[in-house]
Amino acid sequence: MSDKYEKLWQEKGEKIAEILESLYPDPPIPLDHEDPYTLLVAVLLSAQCTDKRVNKVTPELFSMANTPEDMVTHSVEEIKAIIRPCGLSPRKSQAIYDLSHILLREHGGKVPQSLVELEKLPGVGHKTASVVMAQAFGEPMFPVDTHIHRLAHRWGLSNGKNVKQTEKDLKGIFPEEIWNDLHLQIIFYGREYCPARGHDVAACPICRYYGTDEVKGMM
């Protein structure tokens, strides 16, 4: 990318960050949780499921077991019966049961404050691990889910080939100190102003300000 286009890219990122900060100056964590362990479980459950549905399911799950010690005293079938509304319940219930055993056996019952160690846990991919590192431990991360991936492409901030490339592109545009808030701001903005379907450009502050195709060829 030429210096000219890189400067335009950075200026665009700064403007988008300003818009998001003005709309969501203190973005809340959308998944209800009590501590790193319950956040880890909630994020795992959110795969291919809405945060709203996860928040309806986790109170019953965490009333049954909200620590690894308690979770392993229950069967996979008991866990599955509660989390079924979240979808993929056979795989997710097994992952919750297995990772709870691993936390007890290898980490003293604590969620590790390490991206590498988190990614070794069953059912925990890079995005889930990044969310836990950012939201439970305050480490600068830029978790990219399909929604952020879609918006980054729509706004011309990434070429949209895959979430890994999108994460790299976004980290190159935005300063590290705003990553943790920014990924939440983008999620909230997408829901309110920039949906995948029925998108009204005139009512979308970012797309109204920037054309969605203006940086094609810059990547």
> Count of domains in the chain?
2
Tell whether 214 is covered by a domain: no
Catalytic-residue membership of 127: yes
Q: Pick the catalytic residue: 12, 92, 145, 169? A: 145
Residue 59 and residue 124 share a domain: yes
Can you give the pTM of this predicted structure? Answer: 0.88
- The residue annotated as part of the active site, out of 127, 161, 181, 213, is 127
pLDDT at 217: 36
In a domain, 122, yes or no: yes
Q: Which pLDDT tens digit goes with each residue over 46-99?
A: 999 999 999 999 999 999 999 999 999 999 999 999 999 999 999 999 999 999
1 pLDDT exceeds 70?
no
Task: Tell me if residue 49 falls in helix, strand or coil.
Answer: coil
What is the dihedral sign for C-alpha 99, 105, 108, 114? negative
Mean pLDDT of 103-124: 97
Based on the fold, state whether residues 47 and 128 are members of the same structural domain: yes
Q: Are 124 and 152 part of one and the same domain? A: no
Instruction: Say whether pLDDT at 159 is over 70.
Output: yes
pLDDT score for 178? 97
CA dihedral 127, 131, 132, 133 (to 10 degrees): 100
Mean pLDDT score of the chain: 91
* 53 & 131 share domain: yes
| Residue recorded with tokens 């499921």 | 49
Asked if residue 210 has pLDDT above 80, the reply is no
Task: Give the pLDDT confidence score for residue 4 in this predicted structure.
Answer: 53
Question: Could you list the residue range(s) of the whole structural domain that residue 112 is in?
Answer: 36-137
pLDDT-based confidence at 214, cuts 50/70/90? very low
Q: Are 185 and 23 in contact (CB under 8 A)?
A: yes
Q: What is the mean pLDDT of residues 190-209?
A: 91
At residue 194, does pLDDT exceed 60? yes
Please give the pLDDT value at position 196.
Answer: 87
CATH number, domain at 148?
1.10.1670.10
Same domain, 54 and 107: yes
Q: How much is the pLDDT for 208?
A: 86
Maximum distance among all Cα pairs of the chain, rounded to whole angstroms: 60
Lookup: tokens for 198: 């029925």
Does residue 102 or residue 156 have the better pLDDT? 102
Tell me: do 167 and 185 sit in the same domain. yes
User: Is 169 one of the annotated active-site residues of the chain?
Assistant: no
Residue 8 in this model has a pLDDT that exceeds 80: no
**What is the separation, in whole angstroms, between the first and last Cα of the chain?**
6
Residue 58: CATH number of its domain:
1.10.340.30
Domain for residue 170, yes or no? yes
